[in-house]
């Protein structure tokens, strides 16, 4: 798996607003799908972690909208690990059409206990996998 994870997304009519462009909140859905599939590719799926009593929640989000995507566009949502801390993972994410960036930003997700909602440290195995992805990103050309 390369350092930057990419997920293809097709824009459907349900994704657009009255002006025929992707409604801004749908980019959040695209980024969420990308993070979910990235974690699944690492072997962490939502059902399993829920059964173990923890989950991920978005704790910080900053996005810049660069240009609109339109009906039937083929997009790529991307996610790259920027930082891994005790209970949090920071991603640099984007949605692109070819080489054109539609949206880019930083998203931090926190690992929390399902019952209490309190932060819960990432498992050593997951932390190691994520840090390895960061190292790959730094050393790739």
Point out the residues that are catalytic: 17
* DSSP-assigned states of every residue in 19-41: TSBB-HHHHHHHHHHHHHHHHHH
CA dist., res. 3 & res. 26, Å (int): 25
By three-state DSSP, how is residue 45 classified? Answer: coil
H or E segment and range at residue 10: strand 4-10
By three-state DSSP, how is residue 131 classified? Answer: helix
CA dist., res. 4 & res. 92, Å (int): 9
Residue 81 pairs with which residues in a beta bridge?
Answer: 91
- Residues sharing a CB contact under 8 Å with residue 13, sequence separation 6 or more, in sequence order: 71
């Amino acid at each position: 798996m390369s350092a930057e994870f990419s997920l293809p997304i097709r824009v459907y009519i349900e994704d657009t607003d009255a002006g025929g462009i992707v409604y801004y909140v749908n980019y959040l859905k695209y980024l969420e799908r990308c993070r979910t599939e990235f974690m699944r590719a690492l072997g962490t799926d939502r059902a399993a972690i829920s059964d173990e009593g923890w989950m991920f929640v978005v704790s910080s989000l900053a996005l810049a909208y660069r240009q609109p995507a339109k009906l039937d566009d083929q997009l790529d949502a991307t996610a790259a690990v920027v930082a891994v801390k005790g209970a949090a993972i920071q991603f640099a994410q984007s949605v692109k059409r070819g080489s054109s960036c539609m949206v880019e930003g930083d998203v931090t997700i926190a690992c929390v206990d399902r019952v209490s909602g309190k932060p819960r440290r990432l498992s050593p195995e997951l932390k190691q996998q994520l840090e390895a992805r960061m190292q790959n990103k730094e050393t790739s050309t």
